[in-house]
Structure 1
Amino acid sequence: MKLLSTIFILFFSIVLFGQSIQELEQQLKNATDNRQIMNLKYDLAELYKGKDHAAAARYAFESYDLARKLKDIDMQILASYLDAEIHLERRDYKKADARFKASLKHSKKAGDTEFALENLKQLEKLEVKKRDYKSAYNYAKQAAELLSKGVAPPSNRRPRPSAPPPTTSTPSSSQIDKNEVDKYVATIRKLKRAKTDLEEENNSLLTKIERLGSGNMDTKEFKKLQDELKAEAELRNEEKEQALLELGEKEAALERITQEKIRTDKNARKIKKEFDVLSDQAKSARLLQMDAEVKAEQSKNFMYLLGLVSLFVLFLASIFYNRFRVHKKAKLALEETNRQIEDEKKRSDDLLLNILPQDIAKELKEKGKAAARKYENVSVLFTDFKDFTHISEKLSPEQLVRELDYCFRGFDFIISQYGIEKIKTIGDAYMCASGLTNKRTMPVNIIKAALEMQEFMEDYKKEREQKGLPYFEARIGIHTGPVVAGVVGVKKFAYEIWGDTVNIAARMEANAKVGKVNISEETYRQVKYNFDCEYRGKIEAKNKGFVDMYFVKQPIAVGVA
């Protein structure tokens, strides 16, 4: 039977809860005023709290958002606090912390010290759960500062969700003491004196009325005065009744206090009597028990102290561990930064070496500039593509750049195998040089590189012909002689070489044929025992007169005369 009653009560509560939510949601659908919508969503959040956390959190946040738009500071405080409590039940401490902080901020702004204290207490608990005792201490310190200023909650605010309603109660036996009894007795005496005074004043007024009735006063005037005296008498009677009522209440309270005091005294005498009749053995046992209780209390206090010391040691250990982690993290970050710096430095050095010879790059890094140098035996190579303008008109800009990049990349790879320094490219022209070192070098390697360049271009030509696509054909010219080399410019600086040797090499390239390597007389003189060459005749060079030219046919095999 008891089980059935419990099930019925539970079912009835669920039905009422569902009806209440349904009614509020129906009101919410029909509501048009934002303030009404805000209040309805807050009420729904309170009803869903503890039952459907997701719905409760959603309604609480929407109520807070509307309060923020309406600039309703009181509802911002309440809605954010309710939202925080909901997330706290869900164990979503991060969101709960953010909502409590929002409620605290609005409470301080509204001057609501009481609610600010509630938020600070919740935030302190959250920090303790997170073991952030420093933050917990800061919140406790803020609460202490607010308490020192006094608690002053604002009026006309709707009830808070977690605040219990104020209750009135009569003094209990634990609260009764002689001072309270004396206070009540004094109050009753005052009320009795007030009662006596009112009776005397009432009798005096009645006497005045009777005396006036026997005089020769005008009837109208007499009646007016009589009515005034009667009204005054009635007022005095009301005051008398009120005083009697208060007197009765105080007498009843005094009677309850007196009875309670009598019962307390009676219980005290009974206990004293029982204690007096106890035997010495019982008293000794009681003393032993009290001694054991004292020792247990001391042991308990010692355990509390030990726990506090352990917490303090744990706190210090966590601080040192965090410092160790931070130091280790900083060390790793520093190592990573140094590694990145080294990578960038290597990349910068590689890029510099890609632009400048190694000696020049080293001098530029060390001194910030590089002095010009003269080299006596440098071989300069020029390449150029036949009918470049005509062929470029058949290609789109993207295709033209792609084809040039393919050819020049091939040249770059070939000269890198022979230690030759690339100088620059100008349009379809490619310029490089060997012998730009303090060591004396021969033009053998640069001629080998030139022959490989022509082989590369021949393979390129065959591949393009098979696809029916336009192709480039290269002329190559080489001359050997003295040059001056140096770095020019500040922004986008370049490594350049100057001299008649450069000009004659350009003339060699201009008078070469497609697929051939054309060299000057000076270059031929240094390599005639290494390569089979074909004499071509003379050309006129500026400031140099006529210069003999030779086509390089192939390397001379070792052992062949």
Structure 2
Amino acid sequence: MRLAFLCSLFLLCTCVSAQQETQRSPTSDQLIEQLDQADTDGERYGILYELTGQLLESGRRADQELSLNFSKQLYTTAQRMKDAKLMGPAAYTLALAYRAQRDERNTDKFMAEAVTQAMRAGDADLIINAVAERTRLAARNQNYREATRINQEALDYFTRNGSKDNNIEALRARLETERATLQRRRQEVERETQGLTNEVSRLEQERAQLQGNNQLLLQENTVRSRQLEASSEQLAVRSQELTQTQEAKAAIERKVAQTRQEIKELSREALEQKTLATEAREMLAQEALVRQSAEMQAERAATQLYIAAGAGLALLLLALTFFSRFRVKQRAAKQLAVANEALQQAREQSDNLLENILPKDIAKELKSTGKAQARQFPDATVLFCDFVNFTKTAESLGAEALVQELDVCFKAFDAIVDRYEGVEKIKTIGDAYMVASGLSSRKSMPNDIVRAALEMQRFLVAEGEKRASLGLPYFTGRIGLHTGPVVAGVVGARKFAYDIWGDTVNVASRIESKSLPGKVNISETTYNLIRYRFRCTYRGKVEAKNKGMLDMYFVEEELVGQT
């Protein structure tokens, strides 16, 4: 019994402790509910600050995306309160949310804003943390000069306003480290530059030397060729003389045979006298033959020497020829690389043109398969923009001026749409301009297309003021948006076009027709998706043709400043 009582008491204490812990640290869902019920900016700021801290610490990707949205609301709330002590932590929290999204540009931007506000509020710890984060980003991008400047500004602030010695010493040590890194990098760059300069000079000298050697070899080759031709002519002459000598030797041998025959017929005395004379003549003839053979051998050796020198020169010229061909192949390879690069650029231009006409996924599918399958998208947002009193304005403008003004407006709309990823221009129908978002497998909110609609209205207002100051007619526009399912696909074989169909398109057209000049009118479905990001005005139920009574809202402005 005692053991059972102790176990029950332990479980009761555990439940009470968990309840107290829950009361001390509300969950993110509870904080979001409290945020919807907050009445003042001070209360909203406190809830948002705790909520973004919890979401950033969770480490989950979905929570990180939510933390970015709530951090922007925190920063906007702090801006409305105009309190530097609150704006500094809000900017720092927004920078941490961008860091979780790996957005370095906005991380550095809001870290700088946090440093500025912290200096105004005298928050030394926030200055140290924000400066450390900015230094880390600059060092990772190898921008050591910027890292040195950031630390120097913080050190100057602490020196002017006075601070704890450990803060100043930490910043001074970090500043010295960044300066040393910057000096080391500058020295490395100077050494690399000097090395490249020396290498270029050496290559220029080698090129000049090779050109000079090539010229000398060509001249020497000409001389050797002439010498070889002369030696060949002399060899031919000597060969002819040797042939004549051999013929003379054969004649002498025949004469000797004839003489021997005569000896047999002579007397001994006459034979002896004739023998002596014959031997003398034979000795003289043999001496002449030996002398001619020696001369022929000497000439043959000289000729062989010339032939060997000519063969060596020919091998050298052959090597130079191969080297020249190698250089020619190198230049040809470079020219081929340039041609391939030009071909790649042309291919990229063609791909860019196709992607300007169609969404990227559809363009890739067309290039790979030659056709594009129709797809359904459950959460697409369709935008229609139409000019008010277009027919009347067109009559006062004239045909050429009308087309020119339409071109100006539609080009501006194209530029606005291109700035938002995921927002696609569908087509223009007369004076109507049609845009859609959510036409991809990745789930997205209609925030960007609403921003594009507000920008389109701001452009029309600015263009109208400019033309009104010149006494010229101008356009005013109505814009309407609706979110829902659509079917998208490519129609046509040659002049194909990307289009969307469905009841969502019809409702968006009705929403646009019930808008007012200069206004962005949205349906209740779209409003429920963007109400935390944009300030909207409820219009009540408005009758739409063939659709009955629909709840509609005017979008006034974005709650968070554009980043």
TM over 0.5: no
The structure with the largest alpha-carbon Rg is 1
Smaller-chain TM-score bracket = 0.3 to 0.5
> Which has the larger helix fraction?
2
Which one scores higher on RCO, CA 8 angstroms, separation ≥ 6? 2
Question: What's the TM-score once normalised by structure 2's chain length?
Answer: 0.44
